């Protein structure tokens, strides 16, 4: 796995659609994010098949439940050979610790485990009004990131705009995986806290997660390459 990379959010409804998309890439094997829609539709078989084709995988199921349930669910997921998976930091330090314990394989290895701070579709106004969180968005993100570090996880999912302050609070080695990426000339859609691939690199993202700007592009391979060049520097 590369230290800095572009992860494509394969938010497709079926295996057929996913492979039609992945077949467009010839020799490149982009890092693929499998989210709830695809996983719930196709189950673990889709993970095994994408892995067999040589793609690194981020299994984005955002677990959030009582610690015992999360521990056991992670133990099952650890048998899938994914490279990264995640939980919600809102589940508390105890839940995150349980996730990490459950995820570890008998040989001591495990995928990277990261925690979602606040979804990049959530605005501070909605967080305060609907969730009764009185802190600011930045305070919440930093606190969730520190909790994640304390629980022994590898990093967080956050907006690219927050990657710098997360690194400052948790250290350079603490990973930031950032969705909410848009080209300067693209559509924001439902995302609120967004920036471009190049700016995400400047702020300190380790991995950017890009969905619709690639999957809905007229030429997805070209859009992916544009992200890689802007974010990583070279193809």
Annotated catalytic residue within 51, 62, 72, 168: 62
Q: Which is nearer to ligand C5P, 201 or 212 (CB)?
A: 212
Q: Which is nearer to ligand C5P, 105 or 131 (CB)?
A: 131
176 belongs to the binding site for ligand C5P (CB under 6 A): no
Q: Which among 172, 121, 114, 119 has a CA at the least distance from the CA of 141?
A: 119
- Tokens (6 digits) for 82: 């994914």
Binders of ligand C5P among 71-100, rule CB under 6 A?
none
Least gap, CB of 119 to ligand C5P (angstroms): 4
- Tokens (6 digits) for 177: 């995986």
CB 213 within 8 Å of CB 183? yes
Q: Which stretch binds ligand C5P (CB under 6 A): 51-59, 63-71, 98-106, 173-181?
A: 173-181
3-state secondary structure of 57: strand
**DSSP β-ladder status, 155-157 and 112-116:** parallel
Q: Which is nearer to ligand C5P, 5 or 11 (CB)?
A: 11
Evaluated on CA atoms 217, 37, 89, 102, the torsion sign reads negative
Q: Which is nearer to ligand C5P, 68 or 136 (CB)?
A: 136
120 belongs to the binding site for ligand C5P (CB under 6 A): yes
φ, ψ dihedrals at 157, nearest 5°: -95, 125
Least gap, CB of 222 to ligand C5P (angstroms): 16
Least gap, CB of 203 to ligand C5P (angstroms): 15
Binders of ligand C5P among 201-220, rule CB under 6 A?
209-213
Q: Tokens 């995820």 belong to which residue? A: 103
Q: Which stretch binds ligand C5P (CB under 6 A): 23-31, 91-99, 113-121, 226-234?
A: 113-121
Q: Tokens 């015992």 belong to which residue? A: 68
Q: Which is nearer to ligand C5P, 9 or 153 (CB)?
A: 9
123 belongs to the binding site for ligand C5P (CB under 6 A): no
8 belongs to the binding site for ligand C5P (CB under 6 A): no
179 belongs to the binding site for ligand C5P (CB under 6 A): yes
- HEC secondary structure over 118-177: CCCCCCHHHHHHHHCCCCCHHHHHHHHHHHHHHCCCCEEECCHHHHHHHHHHHCCCCEEE
Q: Tokens 């394989």 belong to which residue? A: 105
Least gap, CB of 213 to ligand C5P (angstroms): 6
Active site residue 62: yes
CA distance 37 to 40: 5
Q: Which residues bind ligand C5P (CB under 6 A)?
A: 9, 11, 35, 116, 119-120, 157, 179-181, 189, 191, 209-213
């Amino acid at each position: 796995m590369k230290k800095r990379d572009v992860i494509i959010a394969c938010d497709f409804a079926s295996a057929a659609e996913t492979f039609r998309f992945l077949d467009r890439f010839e020799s490149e094997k982009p890092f693929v994010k499998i989210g709830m829609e695809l996983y719930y539709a196709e189950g673990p078989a889709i993970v095994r098949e994408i892995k067999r084709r040589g793609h690194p995988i981020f299994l984005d199921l955002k677990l959030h439940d009582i610690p015992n349930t999360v521990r056991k669910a992670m133990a099952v997921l650890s048998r899938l050979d994914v490279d990264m998976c995640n939980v919600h930091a809102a589940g508390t330090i105890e839940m995150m610790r349980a996730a990490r314990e459950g995820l570890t394989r008998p040989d001591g290895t495990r995928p990277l485990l990261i925690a979602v701070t606040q979804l990049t579709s959530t605005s501070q106004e909605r967080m305060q009004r609907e969730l009764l969180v009185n802190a600011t968005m930045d305070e919440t993100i930093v606190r969730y990131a520190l909790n994640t570090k304390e629980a022994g996880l590898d990093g967080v999912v956050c907006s690219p705009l927050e990657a710098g302050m997360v690194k400052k609070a948790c250290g350079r080695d603490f990973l930031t995986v950032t969705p909410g990426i848009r080209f300067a000339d693209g559509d924001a859609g439902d995302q609120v806290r967004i920036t471009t691939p190049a700016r995400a690199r400047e702020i300190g993202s380790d991995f950017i997660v890009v969905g619709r700007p690639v999957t809905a592009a007229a030429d997805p391979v070209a859009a992916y390459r544009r992200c890689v060049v802007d974010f990583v520097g070279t193809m």
